[in-house]
Structure 1
Amino acid sequence: MTMVFPVGHYNGVRPGDEHVIRVGRTQHQVDADAFAVWVLAHGVPEVGKGEWTVDDVVARSADAAVEDPAGQLEQLADAGLLAMVGNTPLPAAEFAQRHRLDVLFVGLGNAPDQLEGHAVGVPGLGTAAVLDPDCYELWQWGSVAPTLWHSCEVRATVTAELGRQADPVDAIGEILGDLRFLVAHGCVYLDVAG
C-alpha cells in the first residue's frame, strides 16, 4: 500500500477561485478539484496513527464528486504537493530525508482528563487535539529538526538508551504514525527540507 501525505501550507484563495499552497518558497495555484484532493490527503482524525493511503483518498474524492481523483493525485505529486510513500523502510526513509514539519498550534498544557495527554490548539478558542507523549515530542521538537529523518535519529537514540530499537529506520514507522495523527488533526504541515 502507498501512504499519502500532503505537502505545503495553505495560503488562501486568489481571484479566479484558485487555491494557493506554498511549498518551500514556491506558491502553487490549484483548482477546486485538486484542492479537494490535497485536503483529503490530510486524512481524517478517526484513522489515528493508522495509514491513510492513495486508495482512501480516491474513495473519499469519489464521494465528494471530484473529477478524476487518481489523475489529480498524480498531478499533485508531480508538483510536489503530495508525497506518496511506500510502506517499506527505504521509501519511508527517503521521504523523511526530504521533508520537514512545522507546527500550526500552540501548546495549551496537560489535558485535564488525560494524565499523559498534551493539549494543543489556540488560546481562547480551545483544544484542537490531545497528543500522546510520542506525538507531543514530534510536535514540540519536529519543527526544530531540519528533516523528519533527524527526528527518527533522535527517537532511535532515546529508545536505544531505554534498551529498545537503536536504528533510525526502526523509528520511521512510529514517526510516520505520529505524523499522520498530527496532519489529520491540523497540528502540523509538511514542507520540503532545506
Structure 2
Amino acid sequence: MASLRPDGRVAIGNASRLPTELLEEARQHREDMAALLAARAAETAAPGSIGLSAIPSCPDTWLRSIAGSVARALAQGACRERDPAGWLVLVRPDGRRAMVAPHVVASLAEVGLLPSLPPEQEMDTSDLGCPPAWSEPFSPPSGSWCTACGRFTQTGGRWWREAERPGWCCWTCHPPDGRPATAVVEVRT
C-alpha cells in the first residue's frame, strides 16, 4: 500500500515483498503517484472540496507535482489547445492530453510554479479523430473515427450513448455491454 509522507514523498509499505518490475514502475511514476495520493488525501480531508485548502499539509508538494506533470508534457512536445472554459489543455504528439483546472492553473501561477506555456492553438479537426469517450452532447461528425482503436483506419466509426444522457463512446473501445438495446443510441460515421 502506498501513502504520502509528511515531506511529500511516496512511501510503499512492504516494498521488499513486491516484484522488482513493479517497484521500478513505481519509481518511474513517483511524481504522478504523489499527486494522486495528495488529491485522495484532499478528498478525505474535505469531501466535495477541490481547492488548495483541502490539502492542509502539502499544497506545495501537490502543486509541484502538477507543475512537474505540465513540464513533462511540454518536454514531450505537447502543444496547448484553446479551451473556452479556461482549462489548460496540453496535447502530446501521440494524442494523450493533460488537463489542469483553471483554479489550479491560477494557483500554480500565483506561487510561481507554472512553466512557460506555448501559445494557445485552435484544435485541428481536419482528421476527424475523436477520443474513445467524451461527455459532450453533440454527436460525432460524419467520417469521424476513434483515436484509440481506429486511428489508422480512418474509415469512420461506430459510436453510442445512453438514451437519457449526453456523452458518446466508441463502440469498439467502450462497448455498451449489458445495456438493453432500447437504452442505447447508436451512430455510425
For the aligned pair, the TM-score class normalised by the smaller chain equals under 0.3
TM-score scaled by structure 2?
Answer: 0.25
Identify, as 1 or 2, the structure richer in strand: 1
Q: State the structure with more CA Rg.
A: 2
